[in-house]
Amino acid sequence: MRNGIQLGFLPRALRTAIHRELNDSTIQPDKRIAHHLGVFNGLKGLCMILTIWGFTFYFSWYSVISNLNDANDMSNTLLFNIVSCCVYTVPTFFFCSGFLQTFAFMQRDKKGSMFTWENLGPYYFRKIFRFMPLNVICMMAVLFILPVIGSGPVWNTFKSGAIAGCTDNWWTNVLWVNNLYPRNYDDKCLPWTWFVPCYVQLSLIVPPLLAIYKFADNKLVPAAMFILLIFFALIGQFSLVYFTDVGATMVRND
């Protein structure tokens, strides 16, 4: 960035602001990045708006639609991918969370002190049980409140579909594995909450990955390992989509 400023690639007003930021002695070096972390609030807010807007269309799958043929034609258009791709905002939340967790670890860590059981214990406890009360409340609502708040043939169909998974597989939500088991989407309990166990699982592997980077003498070794990990993850995802003939979006799954 300094080279860009010196060569004049940036607008003058922006160059002046960055120069002032870099030369401001009142901002400590370890707090300089934290000074700008508010950008994640805007990023998460925009993704949340897109998610809410997109899922209002998904909820129509459980409704009685008078113009069903028109709805099907609309879902097959190119522009409708903006709606069907709203699920891809979830990786944005994962990125924000992973970055902030990594930043918090590395900022607070002094000579590896964050990688002791005294600090890792509360971290793991908080990540595992943070959303557990809300998770249990949602399951109780589905099992005991949902059956008595509606009626009618359409309601009964929706009710039976929503309750069936939680009747037999409620324990998968308690153990945060409902994104992996059962395999069939309709057999899952609260299947639309798949991203919560994903968040928990990814949070659990953050400390080991950071420990590998922290204690490595040659930082190129963990960097190469992380690049290979990302590469194999992309290959695995592509293979899964290709060989199981799954569409790129939920709308294209047919």
Tokens of 243: 């060989």
- Helix, strand and coil content of the chain, in percent to the nearest 5, comes to 75, 0, 25
Q: Using the 8-state DSSP alphabet, how is residue 216 labeled? A: -
Q: pTM above 0.85?
A: no
The predicted pLDDT at position 16 comes to 59
| Mean pLDDT of successive 10-residue stretches along the chain, which has 254 residues | 42 54 57 69 86 78 68 78 82 89 77 77 92 90 85 75 83 92 86 90 92 87 91 89 72 56
The predicted pLDDT at position 224 comes to 92
Can you say whether the dihedral through the CA atoms of 128, 129, 131, 136 is positive or negative? positive
Q: 27, 21 in Cβ contact below 8 A? A: yes
Burial (Cβ within 10 Å: 0-12, 13-18, ≥19) of residue 83 = buried
Contacts of 114 (CB under 8 A, 6+ apart): 105, 108, 120, 207
The predicted pLDDT at position 251 comes to 56
The predicted pLDDT at position 65 comes to 67
C-alpha distances in angstroms, 235 versus 15, 114, 224, 246?
41, 33, 16, 15
The Cα–Cα gap between 244 and 254 comes to 12
